[in-house]
């Protein structure tokens, strides 16, 4: 007799939820066709081994599945890392973790935020492109290593000089850690999301990419329009005023 209970409903729901999140990740990384191919292969394997009970073909497919798991981990290591990060970065899981390990309240004063805001406003007026990344919980040492270490106190004039059009460091990203400018001219991962508006350029894609791979705050000043944008947790806030930028930084840097 076929027994179908509440456990089976929960089981089906959890599998469907996992497949949905994997589908979203594959769609964002342009690996959707590979994901569909894997699903088709798994369905064929289950049909052959469980329904038709073909022992020889089923044994061959079993070996392929065993080796394929390792291949999938290697092939989709970036997507797996992003999935695990998004899981750990979820507010409920972070609150659960803080319950056990505790958390220290961080306070960022106006002397840290205002030079960044004022520099972005001046760069915006002159339509000078800029990309500033502010580190939060996840360290960005690997990103810092791609640029030139500065390790200087946050200063409005220094930020503007680094992004001046004739500066050798103006094309890369600036990394801010705590109250200091850690490095400039850094290379960021570029997002391949199809949801980014076409009018946004490479700086915006890089800002979205780092905000997807970490919990950092990425500020972009457009060279074409002078518009100021902020990327946090894989989402953009566009066309920001000085007041709005200050409010965002005050809130997000004190989390």
**Cβ–Cβ under 8 Å, residues 129 and 221:** yes
62 and 82 part of one domain: yes
**Cα within 13 Å of Cα(124), Cβ side:** 17
The per-residue DSSP string of 210-239 comes to HHHHSS-EEEEE-TTT--EEEEETTEEE-S
Is the residue at 61 inside a domain? yes
Residue 92, pLDDT > 70, answer no
Between CA 152 and CA 176 the distance in angstroms is 10
**Cβ–Cβ under 8 Å, residues 161 and 119:** no
Between CA 78 and CA 213 the distance in angstroms is 9
Domain that holds residue 150: 110-252
Is the residue at 159 inside a domain? yes
Confidence band, pLDDT 50/70/90 cuts, at residue 254: low
Higher pLDDT, 18 or 206: 206
187: tokens are 């290379």
Higher pLDDT, 24 or 15: 15
Domain final position from 83, 101, 119: 101
């Amino acid at each position: 007799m076929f027994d179908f209970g509440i456990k089976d409903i929960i089981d089906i729901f959890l599998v469907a939820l996992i497949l949905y999140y994997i589908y979203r990740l594959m769609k964002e990384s342009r690996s959707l066709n590979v994901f569909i191919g894997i699903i088709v292969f798994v369905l064929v394997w289950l049909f052959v081994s469980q329904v038709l009970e073909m022992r020889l073909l089923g044994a061959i497919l079993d070996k392929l599945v065993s080796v394929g798991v390792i291949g999938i981990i290697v092939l989709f290591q970036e997507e797996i890392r992003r999935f695990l990060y998004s899981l750990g970065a979820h507010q409920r899981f972070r609150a659960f973790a803080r319950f056990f390990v505790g958390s220290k309240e961080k306070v960022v004063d106006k002397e840290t935020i205002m030079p960044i805001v004022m520099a972005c406003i001046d760069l915006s007026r002159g339509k000078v492109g800029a990309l500033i990344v502010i580190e939060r919980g996840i360290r960005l040492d690997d990103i810092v290593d791609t640029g030139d270490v500065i390790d200087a106190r946050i200063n409005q004039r220094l930020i503007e000089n680094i992004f001046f059009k004739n500066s050798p460091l103006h094309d890369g990203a600036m990394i801010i850690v705590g109250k200091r400018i850690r490095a400039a001219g850094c290379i960021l991962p570029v997002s391949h999301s199809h949801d980014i508006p076409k009018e946004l350029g490479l700086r915006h894609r890089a800002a979205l990419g780092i905000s997807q791979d970490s919990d950092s705050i990425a500020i972009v000043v457009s060279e074409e329009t002078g518009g100021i944008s902020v990327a946090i947790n894989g989402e953009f806030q566009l066309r920001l005023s000085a007041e709005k930028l200050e409010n965002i930084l005050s809130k997000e840097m004190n989390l």
